[in-house]
Amino acid sequence: MKDNKIIKYIICVVVAIIAMIFLNFVLDSYKVRVLNLCFIYIILGLSMNLINGFTGLFSLGHAGFMAIGAYTVAILTMTPEMKEMNYYMKPMVSFLQQINMPFIVALIIGGLLAALFGFLIGAPVLKLTDDYLAIATLGFSEIIRVVIINLQSVTNGALGLKGIPQKTNQFFVKLLRDIFGISLSHSINLLWAGIGAIITIVFMFLLMKGSYGKAFKAIREDEIAARSMGVNLFKHKVMSFTIGSFLAGIGGGLLAVSLGTIDPTLFKFSLTWNIILIVVLGGMGNINGTIISAIVVTIAMEALRFLDEPLNLGFIQTPALPGLRMVVFSIILMTVIIFKKDNVLKSTLVKVRGRYAKN
Amino acid sequence: MLKIDNVTMRFGGVVAVNQFSAKIDPGEIVGLIGPNGAGKTTVFNMVTGVYKPTSGDIIFTPNGTSQSIINLRPDQIAQIGICRTFQNIRLFKELTVLDNVFIGSHLRLKSGIFSSVLRLPNYTKQEKAMYEKAKYLLEKVGLYEEKDEKSFSLPYGKQRRLEIARALATDPKLLLLDEPAAGMNPQETQELMEFIENIKEEFDLTIFLIEHHMEVVMGICDRIYVLDQGAHIADGDPLEIQNNPKVIEAYLGVD
Ligand SMILES: Nc1ncnc2c1ncn2[C@@H]1O[C@H](COP(=O)(O)OP(=O)(O)OP(=O)(O)O)[C@@H](O)[C@H]1O
Ligand SMILES: [Mg+2]
**Which of A45-49, A335-339, B120-124, B150-154 is least confident?**
A335-339
Q: How far apart are alpha carbons A241 and A247 in whole angstroms?
A: 10
Q: What is the mean pLDDT of residues A46-74?
A: 94
- For atom 1 of ligand 1, which residue has the closest CA? B11
Quote the ligand 1 centre to B32 CA distance (angstroms). 14
| Ligand 1 first shell, C-beta below 6 A | B 11, 14, 16, 34, 36-42, 87
Report the percent of chain A where pLDDT is more than 70: 86
**pLDDT score at B133:** 95
**pLDDT score at A1:** 45
pLDDT in tens, A238-281: 999 999 999 999 999 999 998 989 999 999 998 998 899 899 88
Are B113 and A207 a contacting pair at CB < 8 A? yes
**pLDDT score at A80:** 86
The minimum-distance atom of ligand 1 relative to the CA of B212 is 25
Domain ranges of chain A: 2-268
Relative to the alpha carbon of B8, which ligand is closest?
Answer: 1
CATH of B1-81+175-255, one of 3.40.50.1820, 3.40.50.300, 1.20.210.10, 3.50.50.60: 3.40.50.300
Which of A210, A214, A227 minimises the CB distance to B74? A227
Domain ranges of chain B: 1-81+175-255, 86-155+162-171
Query: Is pLDDT larger for residue A15 or for residue B24?
Result: B24
Q: What is the mean pLDDT of residues B8-27?
A: 93
ipTM: 0.93
Quote the ligand 2 centre to A165 CA distance (angstroms). 64
Q: Closest Cα of chain B to A257: distance in Å? A: 28
Question: Is the predicted pLDDT of residue A231 greater than 50, yes or no?
Answer: yes
**pLDDT score at A81:** 85
Q: Supply the DSSP string of A303-359, one letter for each residue.
A: HGGGGGS-EE-SS-EEPP-TTHHHHHHHHHHHHHHHHHH-HHHHHHHHHHHHHHHH-
**pLDDT score at A347:** 56
Query: CB-based contact (8 Å) between A162 and chain B?
Result: no
Q: Closest Cα of chain B to A12: distance in Å? A: 18
- For atom 18 of ligand 1, which residue has the closest CA? B39
Query: CB-based contact (8 Å) between A225 and chain B?
Result: yes
Are A212 and B130 a contacting pair at CB < 8 A? no
Question: Is the predicted pLDDT of residue A351 greater than 90, yes or no?
Answer: no
Q: What is the mean pLDDT of residues A175-196?
A: 71
The minimum-distance atom of ligand 1 relative to the CA of B11 is 4
When computed from its CA atoms, the radius of gyration of chain A, rounded to whole angstroms, is 22
Return mean pLDDT, chain A.
84
Q: Check if the beta carbon of residue A68 is closer than 8 Å to that of residue A249.
A: yes
**Which of A257-266, A277-286, B127-136 is least confident?**
A277-286
Q: What is the mean pLDDT of residues B122-134?
A: 95
pLDDT band at B52 (very low <50, low <70, confident <90, very high): very high
The contact set of B with A (CB < 8 A) is 48, 50, 73-75, 78-79, 83-84, 86, 90-95, 99, 102-104, 106-107, 109, 113, 116-119, 123, 127, 130, 166-167, 169-170
Quote the ligand 2 centre to B160 CA distance (angstroms). 15
Are A230 and B99 a contacting pair at CB < 8 A? no
Residue B123, CA atoms < 13 Å, CB-side half-sphere: 17
Q: How far apart are alpha carbons B192 and B189 in whole angstroms?
A: 5
Question: Is the predicted pLDDT of residue A83 greater than 90, yes or no?
Answer: no
Query: CB-based contact (8 Å) between A221 and chain B?
Result: yes
Are B117 and A228 a contacting pair at CB < 8 A? no
Q: How far apart are alpha carbons A197 and A254 in whole angstroms?
A: 11
Query: CB-based contact (8 Å) between A255 and chain B?
Result: no
Are A230 and B170 a contacting pair at CB < 8 A? yes
Q: How far apart are alpha carbons A190 and A38 in whole angstroms?
A: 10
Query: CB-based contact (8 Å) between A229 and chain B?
Result: yes
Q: How far apart are alpha carbons B85 and A215 in whole angstroms?
A: 18
The minimum-distance atom of ligand 1 relative to the CA of B230 is 14
pLDDT band at A359 (very low <50, low <70, confident <90, very high): very low
**pLDDT score at B80:** 94
Q: What is the mean pLDDT of residues A142-158?
A: 90
Quote the ligand 2 centre to A66 CA distance (angstroms). 47
Q: Closest Cα of chain B to A260: distance in Å? A: 33
**pLDDT score at A236:** 96
Q: What is the mean pLDDT of residues A296-314?
A: 79
Question: Is the predicted pLDDT of residue A180 greater than 60, yes or no?
Answer: yes
pLDDT band at A188 (very low <50, low <70, confident <90, very high): low
> Which run of H or of E encompasses B10?
strand B2-11
pLDDT in tens, B28-46: 999 999 999 999 999 999 9
Relative to the alpha carbon of B17, which ligand is closest?
Answer: 1
Question: Is the predicted pLDDT of residue A306 greater than 80, yes or no?
Answer: no
Interface test with B, best of A46, A212, A228, A231 (most B CBs within 10 A): A228
**pLDDT score at A189:** 65
Return mean pLDDT, chain B.
92
- Nearest chain B residue to A210, by CA: B116
pLDDT in tens, A200-225: 999 999 999 999 999 999 999 999 99
- Ion ligand 2 residue ranges (Cβ < 5 Å): B 41, 87
Interface test with B, best of A5, A211, A238, A246 (most B CBs within 10 A): A211
pLDDT in tens, B63-121: 888 999 999 999 999 999 999 999 999 999 989 999 999 999 999 999 999 999 999 99
> Which run of H or of E encompasses A182?
none
Q: How far apart are alpha carbons A297 and A201 in whole angstroms?
A: 18
**pLDDT score at A183:** 62
**Which of A3-12, A171-180, B194-203 is least confident?**
A171-180
**pLDDT score at A237:** 95
Interface test with A, best of B86, B116, B120, B131 (most A CBs within 10 A): B116
pTM of the model: 0.89
For B230: left if phi > 0, alpha if psi spans -120 to 50, otherwise beta; the answer is left
Residues of chain A with Cβ-Cβ distance to B102 below 8 Å are 211, 214
Query: Is pLDDT larger for residue A87 or for residue B116?
Result: B116
Which of B73, B103, B123 minimises the CB distance to A214? B103
Quote the ligand 2 centre to A352 CA distance (angstroms). 47
Pocket-testing residue among B4, B36, B40, B226, ligand 1, by greatest number of atoms within 8 A of Cβ:
B40
Query: CB-based contact (8 Å) between A115 and chain B?
Result: no
User: Which own/partner pairs from B228-237 qualify as long-range (CB within 8 Å, at least 24 positions apart)?
Assistant: B228/B34, B228/B35, B228/B38, B229/B18, B229/B37, B229/B38, B229/B39, B230/B9, B230/B15, B230/B16, B230/B17, B230/B18, B230/B20, B230/B38, B230/B39, B230/B42, B231/B18, B231/B19, B231/B20, B232/B19, B232/B20, B232/B21, B232/B22, B235/B22
